[in-house]
Structure 1
Amino acid sequence: MTAIFESRDRADAATEKLKIYAQPQRLMILSYLLRGERSVSDIDMATGIGQPALSQQLAALRQADVVKTRREGKQICYDLADESVRLCVRTMEALLTDQPDPKRVMKAATFLGTAAERPITGTGAAGFAKIL
């Protein structure tokens, strides 16, 4: 694998990928989806993003292939696209705390289960960042 510093194309691709995650509402959605597949109404209730912003952010995540969808009658359910997305979101949650603990970051990066299997500590924005 080529290191980012060795390839401008690789650096550009990495930057574009990071832009998807670097939006507060999208990051909130992705964090919530660590718990598994959810309907649009579930995502709305949990994040409080509201329409039409939620629809716009979900469309951006779909377009970037970060989430996948499944239709259930009239409802559309969303889930993280794959394990690489799950790894990225879990690692960001571990890193982006007030005082990241390297051991917790490594544990998040290597954890194979879902966030629902881990205890949630804290509430609000701080809890979001400290889910691990």
Structure 2
Amino acid sequence: MKNFSKELSFKTSRSSGAGGQNVNKVETAVTVLWEVNASVFFHEEQKALLLDKLKNRINAEGVLFLTVSESRTQLMNKNKAIEKIIELVNKALIVPKKRTATKPSRAQKQKRLDSKKKLSDKKENRRFKL
């Protein structure tokens, strides 16, 4: 993933929320930007998969962005942003395994019918009989 992290660019901004003078003076929030189509680390099928799965986080120019302002220091936020974007990309690249359709076995069908019959008998016994 070292090659991938070289393609990232960063922008800093002031964090929002409580924090007093530190928030007002220091730019601790970090936005990590990555141009998906310009990446040399992934091949075309992977890029298409990333563009499809992360379309809510990718802007019109094809730039994936993520803002982190959890920590009070810029360096920690930068490291967290790198971790999060790598995790995001790794999750997006996972292709789910196709489910093969199967029929229930005869024993499973019989078990289901037996449980239905048992419940029916239980309810039948609750009825008031004259």
| TM-score bracket for this pair, using the shorter chain length | under 0.3
- Structure with a larger share of its residues in helix: 1
Q: Give the TM-score normalised by structure 1.
A: 0.28
Structure with larger Rg: 2
